[in-house]
Amino acid sequence: MRRLLVIGIGAGDPEQVTVQAINALNRADVFFVADKGADKHDFVLARQEICERYIRNRDYRMVHIPDPERDRSSPAYRQAVDQWRRDRAGIWAGLVRDELRDGECGAFLVWGDPALYDSTLAVIEQIIDMGTVELDYEVIPGISAVQSLAARHRVSLTQVGRPVHITTGRRLATGGFPEGCDDVVVMLDAHCAFAGLPGAGTDIYWGAYLGTKDEILLSGPLPDVADQIQAARAAARARKGWIMDTYLLRRARAR
């Protein structure tokens, strides 16, 4: 029986790593690190830094996992993601079997929280279903980019007795605000979907590279700041080669 820990490591600031996560880091013999190519080098480094900072008096091994190519051109988004997860499960299963000795503990360090827009849990379930390697796993929650965003802007995500909706840029672009909900958090938005909304009566709280030295925060009425955010985003992306940004849209309630 191999044991895996799925550890949420926060969304950028090493001080967001919880005591529970630090204790879990100190139980692991092997860290599996998904290597997603040159532009994701910073994320591999961030994980290595966390290990060096928090693991005490313990030998551990780092195993880099090659990430299979995902077909981003396919119009069948769901099927393309499912295929990519299956490919990943095959690669991960082989590595867990070969790199983790019986009785040892392996760990996946997940950006933010494993429960939000992350495929690690689904891939591990797929490995278990494949039945080629016997394993058990535990999940340690992390501070998500969503919580970081709210804290840095000093806003609550929920208004009194009201819901908050978390979605992707792709969904916002096609669906706008959902019925009965005036507070929407948007992640994974490569195309500034907020710019396509009517905007009047809506405030935006935007954050990029939250918790890092490159952090950018902008907020205000959407029609007033949409252009500024797009310009800041494009400039930062050109400078660093990649960007991660998240935002809260808050629409004034119709009376």
Ligand X SMILES: C[S@@+](CC[C@H](N)C(=O)[O-])C[C@H]1O[C@@H](n2cnc3c(N)ncnc32)[C@H](O)[C@@H]1O
Site stretch for ligand X (CB under 6 A), options 57-65, 156-164, 207-215, 220-228? 207-215
Distance CA 229, CA 54 (A): 35
Identify the residue among 150, 187, 197, 222 touching ligand X (CB under 6 A). 187
Identify the residue among 96, 209, 248, 249 touching ligand X (CB under 6 A). 209
Shortest Cβ distance from residue 247 to ligand X (Å)?
A: 8
Identify the residue among 188, 200, 231, 234 touching ligand X (CB under 6 A). 188
Shortest Cβ distance from residue 190 to ligand X (Å)?
A: 8
145 or 193: CB nearest ligand X: 145
**Residue 172 makes contact with ligand X by CB under 6 A:** no
Distance CA 114, CA 137 (A): 13
The two tokens of residue 32 are 């599996």
Identify the residue among 145, 157, 218, 248 touching ligand X (CB under 6 A). 145
**Residue 245 makes contact with ligand X by CB under 6 A:** yes
Shortest Cβ distance from residue 186 to ligand X (Å)?
A: 7
Look at residues 50, 15, 253, 12 and name the one whose alpha carbon lies nearest to residue 146: 12
Distance CA 215, CA 244 (A): 10
**Residue 117 makes contact with ligand X by CB under 6 A:** yes
The answer to whether 51 and 25 have CB atoms below 8 angstroms apart is: yes
Identify the residue among 93, 107, 113, 202 touching ligand X (CB under 6 A). 113
The answer to whether 204 and 186 have CB atoms below 8 angstroms apart is: no
Of residues 2-41, those binding ligand X (CB under 6 A): 11-12
**Residue 183 makes contact with ligand X by CB under 6 A:** no
Q: Is the dihedral of CA 37, 42, 47, 52 positive or negative?
A: positive
Distance CA 76, CA 93 (A): 26
Of residues 73-112, those binding ligand X (CB under 6 A): 111-112
Shortest Cβ distance from residue 191 to ligand X (Å)?
A: 12
Strands of 183-187's sheet in order across? 165-168, 183-187, 245-251, 202-208, 216-221
Look at residues 25, 36, 105, 113 and name the one whose alpha carbon lies nearest to residue 67: 36
The answer to whether 92 and 32 have CB atoms below 8 angstroms apart is: yes
- Residue number of the CB atom closest to ligand X: 112
Identify the residue among 153, 197, 207, 229 touching ligand X (CB under 6 A). 207
Residues within the interface to ligand X (CB under 6 A)? 11-12, 111-113, 116-118, 144-145, 187-188, 207-211, 244-246
